């Protein structure tokens, strides 16, 4: 199946007489006829459902669709994008581990890695993702366990050179984890370019309608944990909490997701609710159509902004001459996403006045859904960062993040025009 068809048909195939749309298995628990049958599930000797804190059939169907879209072997849903990125890393890191991450990543993930995981004894070195390979190699340490980046960064819309990062990670014997939230698998499949694990905030384009917070993790099954067994004892040595099974031996290519489900979900319990998974399933069915329109509208608006003399600068990877246009042509040939960043002449004050004057586009702590919205990261999502950190993350104080929706683009441009008239 091609991507568009997978959006509709992958993950859930009803049998004769079964519901056409995935049912919401709104049940915390599942019934068994014998004690022995349920016991096998607790030993990971058989697969099946017993408690929704670990797994639920609605979630699994949706996760299977996302895994199919990304070209991975297995996937899982989490309660949020934050939980997805935390689980993706914590599944292979522990106190004493080290991560190399792009400094341009989403503010929430920056805090997760730089503050909260640091308290857990997991260190992170943030790097400028545009540095040449030799420079980036200096960030690696003997205890490095993962490399992390975003296909298109939130909010600076920088495009990651995935092949460069995959080469770096693999030459240091660690996997590359890519947060593919903004591009979605419709526009880029990082696994094709060498990423080992892909994460999502499904809250964004995948859901598409701003109704459910959620996340997803997909494993390519390509990273050979056994080859680097000393680095990943959690996958390559016995898990005493499951009678000494060794995930990499027992589950092969499914080891990573099986461990994340049966160990992290069991202990930390950040599963997506089946109701939200159902909304997500519906969102995924039209993802390919929406992404096309988001990109078309965003490119038109980027061009409009670029030609406006009140605008100081515009960053949008699909724009000819943008500093990421070459990378976008390679990794995102059908379009990047609906998000763009720009600043007004006159700086921060003017930018805020402009935002407050918009009528159709709403100020919202959200991004990447069907309705156009915008936000000023320095005053909102990234307000915890120091000026220096903002600078390192490439976030100018006047940066406005505009998330272009799927409205008629003329209406959006009219709204921008009337707001420009007021500044
Ligand atoms: C929003 C976002 C997250 C966090 O996801 P939540 O669903 O809000 O927890 C992580 N990464 C990126 C790129 C995001 O845009």
313-360 confidence digits (pLDDT tens): 999 999 999 999 999 999 999 999 999 999 999 877 888 899 999 999
Counting every residue written for the chain, the total comes to 423
Confidence of residue 225 (pLDDT cuts 50, 70, 90): very high
Instruction: Mention the CATH class of domain 288-420.
Output: alpha beta
CA distance 336 to 153: 11
Mutate to test the pocket of ligand 1, among 108, 155, 156 (most ligand atoms within 8 A of CB): 108
Q: How far is the CA of 82 from the centre of ligand 1 (A)?
A: 6
Alpha helices in 130-263 (DSSP H): 133-137, 162-171, 184-187, 233-236, 247-251, 255-259
Q: Where, residue-wise, is CATH 3.40.640.10 in the chain?
A: 3-282
Ligand 1 atom nearest the C-alpha of 105 is: 13
Query: Residue 371's CB: how many other CB atoms inside 10 A?
Result: 16
Say what the pTM is. Answer: 0.97
Mutate to test the pocket of ligand 1, among 104, 109, 202 (most ligand atoms within 8 A of CB): 109
Beta bridge mates, 147: 100, 176
Tell me which CATH code domain 3-282 carries: 3.40.640.10
9-51 confidence digits (pLDDT tens): 999 999 999 999 999 999 999 999 999 998 998 888 888 999 9
CA distance 423 to 415: 13
The CA radius of gyration of the chain, in Å to the nearest whole number, is 22
Q: Where, residue-wise, is CATH 3.90.1150.10 in the chain?
A: 288-420
Query: What DSSP state is assigned to residue 100?
Result: E
**Nearest residue CA, atom 4 of ligand 1?**
81
Q: How far is the CA of 181 from the centre of ligand 1 (A)?
A: 7
Nearest to 308 by CA among 350, 268, 245: 350
Q: How far is the CA of 81 from the centre of ligand 1 (A)?
A: 5
Q: What are the distances in angstroms from CA 365 to CA 2, 50, 347, 375?
A: 33, 36, 21, 7
Give the pLDDT confidence score for residue 347 in this predicted structure.
Answer: 77
Q: How far is the CA of 1 from the centre of ligand 1 (A)?
A: 28
pLDDT at 382 > cutoff 90: no
Matching residue, tokens 């879209």: 69
Q: In what order do the strands lie in the sheet with 197-201?
A: 74-78, 215-219, 197-201, 176-179, 144-150, 98-102, 123-127
Give the pLDDT confidence score for residue 320 in this predicted structure.
Answer: 96
Burial class (CB in 10 A: 0-12, 13-18, 19+), 244: exposed
Q: How far is the CA of 233 from the centre of ligand 1 (A)?
A: 29
CA angle 104, 107, 109 (to 5 degrees): 90
Residues having CB closer than 6 A to ligand 1 are 80-82, 106, 108-109, 150, 154, 179, 181-182, 201, 203-204, 213, 215
CA distance 170 to 335: 28
Mutate to test the pocket of ligand 1, among 89, 153, 201 (most ligand atoms within 8 A of CB): 201
- Looking at the chain, the number of H-run helices and the number of E-run strands are 19, 12
């Amino acid at each position: 199946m091609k991507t568009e068809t997978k959006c509709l048909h992958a993950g859930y195939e009803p049998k004769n007489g079964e519901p056409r749309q995935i049912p919401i298995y709104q049940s915390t628990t599942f019934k068994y006829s014998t004690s022995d049958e349920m016991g096998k599930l607790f030993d990971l000797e058989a697969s099946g459902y017993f408690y929704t804190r670990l797994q639920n059939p609605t979630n699994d169907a949706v996760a299977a669709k996302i895994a199919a879209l990304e070209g991975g072997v297995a996937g899982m849903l989490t309660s949020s994008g934050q939980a997805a990125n935390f689980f993706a890393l914590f599944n292979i890191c522990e106190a004493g581990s080290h991560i190399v991450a792009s400094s341009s990543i989403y503010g929430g993930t920056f805090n997760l890695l730089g503050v909260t995981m640091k308290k857990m004894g997991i260190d992170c070195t943030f790097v400028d993702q545009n540095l040449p390979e030799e420079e980036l190699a200096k960030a690696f340490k003997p205890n490095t366990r993962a490399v992390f980046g975003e296909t298109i960064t939130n909010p600076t819309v920088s495009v990651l050179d995935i092949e460069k990062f995959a080469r770096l990670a693999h030459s240091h014997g660690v996997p590359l984890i890519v947060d593919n939230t903004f591009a979605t698998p419709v526009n880029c499949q990082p696994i094709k370019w060498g990423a080992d694990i892909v994460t999502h905030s499904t809250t964004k384009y995948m859901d598409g309608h701003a109704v459910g917070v959620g996340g997803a993790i997909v494993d390519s099954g390509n990273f050979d944990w056994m080859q680097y067994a000393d680095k990943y004892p959690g996958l390559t040595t016995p898990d005493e909490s499951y009678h000494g099974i060794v995930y990499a031996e027992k589950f092969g290519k499914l080891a990573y997701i099986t461990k994340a489900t049966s160990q992290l979900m069991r202990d930390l319990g950040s599963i997506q609710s089946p109701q939200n998974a159902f909304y997500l399933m519906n969102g995924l069915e039209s993802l390919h159509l929406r992404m096309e329109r988001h990109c078309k509208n965003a490119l038109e608006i980027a061009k409009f902004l670029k030609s406006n003399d009140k605008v100081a600068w515009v960053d949008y990877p699909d724009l000819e001459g943008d500093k990421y246009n070459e990378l976008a042509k390679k990794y995102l040939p059908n379009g990047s996403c609906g998000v763009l960043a720009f600043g007004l002449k006159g700086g921060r004050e003017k930018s805020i006045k402009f935002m407050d004057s918009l009528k159709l586009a709403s100020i919202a702590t959200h991004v990447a859904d069907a309705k156009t919205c915008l936000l000023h990261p320095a005053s909102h999502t990234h307000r915890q960062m120091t000026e220096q950190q903002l600078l390192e993350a490439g976030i100018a104080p006047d940066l406005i993040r505009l998330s272009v929706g799927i409205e008629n683009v003329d209406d959006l441009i009219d709204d921008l025009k009337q707001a420009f008239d007021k500044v």
